[in-house]
Structure 1
Amino acid sequence: MQPAAVRVKLLRDGARVPTRATDLATGFDLSACIDAPLRIGNSPVLVPTGIALEIPPGIDAQVRPRSGLARQGVLCSFGTIDADYRGELLVTLYTIAPGIEHTIEPGDRIAQLVFGLLAPAEFVLAAELGATARGTGGHGSTGR
């Protein structure tokens, strides 16, 4: 499969093109583009990446947490980057508990960018939906 061309614009000094940590990694690391260390706590903080992307139509781009930071209690909120957005990518970081703090240094890898193909879909109004074994069972209805 031919890779999709995602154009990237570096918006300021210190910005880095997203890269894969290994050849088989599915996520591209996003790096913090900050001038000084930034303390992350329990309240959400927007961390700039210093890049803007031109994502081709039909491609879905998702921002996801890095497992190494998650292990330390530092998460980013999931986010979608639409193909028509041309602004700077900002990553919302926070810690999962009041007692956890983490310092982000300039250039630190703070999140992952994962691409997927969009499934063509449309909504069709229906008076009834097809029956399944699960039915209307919601959160936790299939077990732990």
Structure 2
Amino acid sequence: MEFPPIRVRLLRDGARIPSRATDLASGFDLSACIESPILVGNRPVLVPTGIALEIPPGIDAQVRPRSGLARQGILCTFGTIDADYRGELLVTLYAVAPGIEHTIEPGDRIAQLVFGLLAVARFELAADLSPTQRGAGGHGSTGR
């Protein structure tokens, strides 16, 4: 199935249309649209991309970390871009530990955008849920 086109609006000079680094990459790189460098440390920093998107209904768009930055201890928060949002995409970056810093330069690739088909769930109120082997076991309850 081919996705409908994602409409992109460039909001200012230096903004870049998201692009894949290779033909088989699942994510489209998002670039920083900034006039001067931004220092990322252990406090969240909003980095503008200079773009706004028109996501078609039924498409799920998620902002995810880039592995190259993650290897350096710099992550972005996962984010979902809703189909009715038309504002600028901002990426929240932070360092995973004190003492880690990274400078974002204009045009740097800072995150990736991944698309999928949106599953529209329907909820039903229930007095009981079917039993499973795990049951209500929490994080780590299935082993290491």
What TM-score, normalized by structure 2, do the two folds share?
0.98
1:48-107 superposed Cα distances (whole Å, 9 cap, x missing partner) = 000000000000000000000000000000000000000000000000111100000000
Could you tell me which residue of structure 2 aligns to residue 6 of structure 1?
A: 6
Secondary structure of 1:25's aligned partner: coil
Q: Which amino acid aligns with 2:102?
A: H
Which residues in structure 2 correspond to 1:58-77 (within 5 Å)? Answer: 58-77=58-77
Could you tell me which residue of structure 2 aligns to residue 53 of structure 1?
A: 53
Separation (CA, whole Å) in 1 of partners of 2:22 and 2:74: 22
Give the drift of 1:121. 1.2
Percent identity between the aligned chains?
A: 81
Give the drift of 1:47. 0.1
Structure 1 residue runs of 4 or more that deviate by more than 4 Å after TM superposition: none
Which residues in structure 2 correspond to 1:58-137 (within 5 Å)? Answer: 58-137=58-137
Give the drift of 1:119. 1.1
Give the drift of 1:120. 2.5
RMSD (CA atoms): 0.6
Separation (CA, whole Å) in 1 of partners of 2:139 and 2:2: 39
Give the drift of 1:143. 1.4
Gaps of 5+ in 1: none
Q: Which amino acid aligns with 2:124?
A: V
Give the drift of 1:13. 0.2
Q: Which amino acid aligns with 1:27?
A: G
Could you tell me which residue of structure 2 aligns to residue 29 of structure 1?
A: 29
1:4-36 superposed Cα distances (whole Å, 9 cap, x missing partner) = 210000000000000001001100000000001
